[in-house]
Amino acid sequence: MTTATPIPMVDLREQYLTIKQDIDDAIADVLNTTQFIMGQNVRSFESEVADYLGVSDAISCANGTDALHLALRALGLGPGDEVITTPFTFIATAEAIAYVGATPVFVDIDPLTYNLDATLVEQAITKKTRAIIPVHIFGLPCDMHTLQALADKHSLHIIEDCAQSFGAAVDDKKTGAIGDVGCHSFFPSKNLGCFGDGGMLTTNNKELADKLRVYRAHGSAKQYHHSVIGYNSRLDEMQAAILRQKLPHIDTYNRERLRVASAYCEQLEQLNHLGIQLPLLEAPASQGKAIPVFHQFTLLTDKRDALKEALSAQQIASAVYYPIPLHQQKAITDCMPASTPCPHAEKTALRCLSLPIYPEMSQSNIDRVCDTVKAALT
Ligand X SMILES: Cc1ncc(COP(=O)(O)O)c(C=O)c1O
Instruction: Please give the residue ranges that form the binding site for ligand X (CB under 6 A).
Output: 63-65, 89-90, 92-93, 135, 161, 163-164, 185, 187, 197, 199
Nearer to ligand X, 182 or 199 (CB): 199
Contacts of 216 (CB under 8 A, 6+ apart): 59, 60, 61, 66, 70, 230, 231, 233, 234
Report the nearest approach of ligand X to the CB of residue 273 (Å): 32
Nearer to ligand X, 186 or 276 (CB): 186
Q: Within its chain, how far is the Cα of 101 from the centroid? A: 23
Closest by CA position to 257, among listed 315, 192, 174, 319:
192
Burial label, 191 (beta-carbon count in 10 A; 0-12, 13-18, 19+): buried
Nearer to ligand X, 89 or 113 (CB): 89
Report the nearest approach of ligand X to the CB of residue 377 (Å): 27
Nearer to ligand X, 202 or 365 (CB): 202
Report the nearest approach of ligand X to the CB of residue 194 (Å): 10
Contact 376, 303 (CB under 8 A): yes
Residue nearest to ligand X (CB): 64
Report the nearest approach of ligand X to the CB of residue 32 (Å): 28
Report the nearest approach of ligand X to the CB of residue 195 (Å): 13
Nearer to ligand X, 177 or 373 (CB): 177
Q: Which residues pair with 31 in a beta bridge?
A: none
Contact 175, 200 (CB under 8 A): no
Instruction: Give the span between the Cα atoms of 372 and 376, in whole angstroms.
Output: 6
Nearer to ligand X, 66 or 82 (CB): 66
Report the nearest approach of ligand X to the CB of residue 89 (Å): 5
Report the nearest approach of ligand X to the CB of residue 342 (Å): 16
Residue 155: count other Cβ atoms within 10 Å of its Cβ.
8
Nearer to ligand X, 140 or 268 (CB): 140
